Structures are given as structure tokens and as C-alpha cells.
């Protein structure tokens, strides 16, 4: 993302915002941000809040006075609360109260900054990439995805979608469709208006490939492979390619209390495994898996054996890589996939600490070769 100068981050456009933005008409600067209208800078900024919409109360009171339906859902959404972390990490925590206390402390230090408020998408860019106003405080229903979505979802999603991983093509929805993120990920989804979710893959796929491509549903079209495999394989199994896996993100704070992390170098992988989220909504036997940056010691700075129940979830998790192609190495022929041990997760892909955790996603028998 192009850097935003310090002055631009606080520049209020006199035309775009002051003159023409409805939000400038309904409240004064101090009514939303606090502080005072003093002429002297320090006095004016005393007690002011930069991102007002980071607080539930303010979202409800200010934004909600006009956008009640949206804000009512938004403050419970994964984007706002980031409680997907809790859903996953809580399952790995031990029963000891100390484990939960350690996680709470770590969460506050390292994960809470990942939540996205109203302003992070509609007024400014996310704090995780430096923050600041991006269009002179103008409120935009939709901003450039490079200023919003990929500010947070950069190293994996953006690099995959726009083809920044060396030797790996960009997603066809980008190269041919030029589709920004919100073409598929609607405002309703982003605001949590499609229902409360415990984590990203809770409930039915949203978005679902079949929303735009209903003709490829099994039995609905003439493509034989879809009719044969459609109920057994997630679309990505045949149509995504190498994607990024991460390992061992250890978190701690400096002596001055500044949070930081150390993560192992990422690895490009393409692994098919058994579906750990199999349900009526996601009925497939096989899905693409991605390694998440967890190991039993990532929270050791905060306590002993915090992840005492580490094996509760696989470290190779359900994934939907954003690098969809019509033609991929594994769908080049039947036997490019069938019997191809390289693309199926096996114990050989695992480190010692995660063998037990992944037993449920390692295929016991590979689909047999067909000779085609």
C-alpha cells in the first residue's frame, strides 16, 4: 500500500468533507471526538479520541442514530469483536484458570488491535497499517480495497489474490474479472448481518462459489467432473493452487511492555485433507488445508502450558485460498490428483508436536489412480 504522510492522516478536506459530507452536518468535531475547540493545539486535543468507532457505546450512539440496523449487527460481528480468536484458542486452552488468564492477557496485547471498527473501513485505513484518514475524513460507503481489506488481510489473501507469490498466478476473479473484495464479500457479510458467527467458517459458506456459478453445482451442468466430484470435494480442491502456510508465531512483550511477535518463515503449500468442518452446510469429504501459526509454546511468555489442550483442533485448518484458477496442476488429468501423495496431507508433512492434533484431517487412503 502506498504510504500516507503524517499530515495526510489528519487532513480534513474542506470540500469533500466539510462542505459536502452529510456527517459534517449532523455533528461537530468535538461532539464525536471529544477534546475542545481551543485555538491552542494541545488544549484542543486534550481528552480527544481518534477512532471514536472503536467503542461499542459510541458506535451505537453516533453511527447507530442513523444506521441502527447495521451497527446493531456490526458490534457483534467477527470484524468488530475479533472473537474468532476466542472461539479457536479457547478450544486449545487447558482447564486451569491460569491458562484463561494468560490468554486474556495475550489477546489484549496482540490480538485486540486486529478488530475493525466502522471508521477503519469507511473513513480511514486500519491501525495495523499505520492508520490515518485516507480521503480527507470523507465517509465512503466503499473505499478502495487496498486501503481497507488488504491493509489487514495482506500477507496471505492479498498476495494470493493479486499474484504476488512468486510463480503462483493471481486469482482469475482478479486477472479476468478485476473484482475487488466486496464484489463477493458483501456489506451485509462484512457487517455481520448474515447472522452471528463464532468464527470465519461457522455456518454456510459466505460467499459461496455457487452464488455466482449455480450451473456448476453437481447435476446442474454438463461438466462431468463437477457432476462426479461436486458433492465430495470443495471447489478449491480442484481450482486453487499453492498458498501460504505459517508456523509458530510466538508472542511476548518487551521490557517496556511493547507487544511483539516472532514467526517462522512462511511456506508455500498445497495440501488436500479431510474436511474438519464437515456439516450440512459444508458437506465435502475433502478440502484444502492451510497450516496456522500455532504450536504448543506460542503463549509460553504468558504462562506455563497455556495450550494444554493443544490437540483439540488440527493445525492444518480448513482453508479457502484466494487464487482460483480454471486449470490447475491437480485438475490437469484424473491421475494428477488420484494417487498423487504429494498433494494430500500425510504424517510426513507434520512436526512432532502436531501429529496427534491432525489425525482427523489426514486421509487414510488416497483416491486410487485411474490410469487417465
Site residues for another protein per CB under 8 A: 5-7, 9-15, 18-19, 24-25, 27-30, 35, 37-39, 41, 44, 128, 130, 137, 154-155, 246, 249, 254, 258-266
Nearest approach, Cβ of residue 9 and another protein (Å)? 7
Nearer to another protein, 37 or 352 (CB): 37
Nearest approach, Cβ of residue 262 and another protein (Å)? 4
Give Cβ neighbours of residue 159 (< 8 Å, ≥ 6 apart).
Answer: 165, 244
Q: Nearest Cα to 52, choosing from 133, 119, 151, 128?
A: 119
Q: Phi first, then psi: give them for residue 370, nearest 5 degrees.
A: -110, -15
Nearest approach, Cβ of residue 136 and another protein (Å)? 9
Q: Phi first, then psi: give them for residue 331, nearest 5 degrees.
A: -110, 15
- Spatial separation of the C-alpha atoms in residues 28 and 32, rounded to whole Å: 7
| Strand extents, DSSP E, the chain | 243-245, 249-253, 259-263, 267-269, 271-274, 286-291, 316-319
Nearer to another protein, 254 or 364 (CB): 254
**DSSP-based helix, strand, coil % in the chain, nearest 5:** 40, 10, 50
Nearer to another protein, 109 or 315 (CB): 109
Nearest approach, Cβ of residue 290 and another protein (Å)? 14
Nearest approach, Cβ of residue 155 and another protein (Å)? 4
Nearest approach, Cβ of residue 189 and another protein (Å)? 24
Helix locations, the chain, DSSP H: 22-26, 29-33, 41-45, 56-61, 68-74, 78-81, 84-92, 97-106, 118-122, 149-152, 159-161, 172-175, 187-190, 209-212, 224-229, 235-239
Nearer to another protein, 266 or 297 (CB): 266
Nearest approach, Cβ of residue 331 and another protein (Å)? 29
Nearest approach, Cβ of residue 252 and another protein (Å)? 9
Which three cell numbers mark 35? 477534546
Nearest approach, Cβ of residue 289 and another protein (Å)? 19
Nearer to another protein, 167 or 219 (CB): 167
Nearer to another protein, 266 or 325 (CB): 266
Nearer to another protein, 24 or 350 (CB): 24
Nearer to another protein, 110 or 229 (CB): 110
Cis ω for the linkage preceding 180 (within 30 of 0): no
Which three cell numbers mark 302? 504468558
Nearer to another protein, 217 or 249 (CB): 249
Q: Is the distance from CB of 306 to CB of 299 less than 8 angstroms?
A: yes
Give the CA radius of gyration of the chain. Answer: 23
Nearest approach, Cβ of residue 149 and another protein (Å)? 15
In degrees, rounded to 5, the angle at the alpha carbon of residue 71 between the alpha carbons of residues 66 and 75 is 155
Helix axes of 84-92 and 97-106: crossing angle, nearest 10 degrees: 150
Nearer to another protein, 18 or 210 (CB): 18
- Spatial separation of the C-alpha atoms in residues 284 and 286, rounded to whole Å: 6
Spacing of C-alpha 205 from chain mean position: 14
Amino acid at each position: 500500500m502506498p504510504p500516507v504522510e503524517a499530515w495526510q492522516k489528519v487532513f480534513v478536506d474542506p470540500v469533500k468533507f466539510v462542505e459536502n459530507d452529510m456527517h459534517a452536518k449532523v455533528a461537530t468535531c468535538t461532539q464525536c471526538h471529544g477534546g475542545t475547540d481551543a485555538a491552542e493545539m494541545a488544549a484542543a486535543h486534550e481528552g480527544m479520541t481518534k477512532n471514536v468507532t472503536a467503542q461499542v457505546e459510541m458506535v451505537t450512539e453516533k453511527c447507530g442514530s442513523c444506521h441502527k440496523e447495521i451497527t446493531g449487527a456490526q458490534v457483534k460481528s467477527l470484524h468488530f469483536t475479533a472473537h474468532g480468536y476466542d472461539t479457536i484458542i479457547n478450544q486449545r486452552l487447558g482447564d486451569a484458570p491460569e491458562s484463561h488468564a494468560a490468554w486474556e492477557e495475550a489477546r489484549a496485547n496482540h490480538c485486540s488491535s486486529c478488530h475493525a471498527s466502522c471508521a477503519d473501513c469507511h473513513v480511514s485505513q486500519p491501525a495495523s497499517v499505520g492508520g490515518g484518514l485516507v480521503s480527507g475524513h470523507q465517509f465512503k460507503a466503499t473505499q478502495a480495497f487496498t486501503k481497507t481489506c488488504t491493509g489487514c488481510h495482506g500477507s496471505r489473501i492479498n498476495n494470493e489474490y493479486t499474484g504476488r507469490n512468486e510463480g503462483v498466478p493471481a486469482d482469475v476473479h482478479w486477472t479476468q474479472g478485476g473484482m475487488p473484495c466486496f464484489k463477493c464479500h458483501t456489506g451485509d457479510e462484512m457487517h455481520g448481518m448474515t447472522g452471528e458467527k463464532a468464527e470465519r467458517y461457522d455456518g454456510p459458506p459466505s460467499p459461496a462459489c455457487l452464488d455466482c456459478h449455480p450451473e456448476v453445482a453437481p447435476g446442474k451442468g454438463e461438466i462431468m467432473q463437477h457432476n462426479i466430484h461436486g458433492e465430495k470435494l470443495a471447489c478449491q480442491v480442484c481450482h486453487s493452487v499453492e498458498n501460504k502456510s505459517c508456523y509458530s508465531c510466538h508472542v511476548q512483550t518487551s521490557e517496556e511492555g511493547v507487544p511483539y511477535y516472532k514467526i517462522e518463515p512462511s511456506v508455500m503449500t498445497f495440501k488436500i485433507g479431510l474436511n474438519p468442518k464437515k456439516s450440512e452446510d459444508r458437506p465435502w469429504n475433502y478440502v484444502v488445508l492451510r497450516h496456522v501459526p500455532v504450536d504448543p509454546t506460542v503463549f509460553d511468555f504468558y504462562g506455563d502450558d497455556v495450550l494444554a489442550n493443544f490437540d483439540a483442533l488440527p493445525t492444518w485448518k480448513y482453508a479457502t485460498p484466494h487464487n482460483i484458477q480454471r486449470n490447475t496442476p491437480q485438475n490437469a488429468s484424473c491421475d494428477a490428483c488420484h494417487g498423487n501423495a504429494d498433494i494430500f496431507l500425510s504424517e510426513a508433512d507434520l512436526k512432532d508436536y502436531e501429529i496427534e492434533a491432525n489425525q482427523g484431517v489426514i486421509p487414510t487412503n488416497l483416491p486410487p489412480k485411474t490410469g487417465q
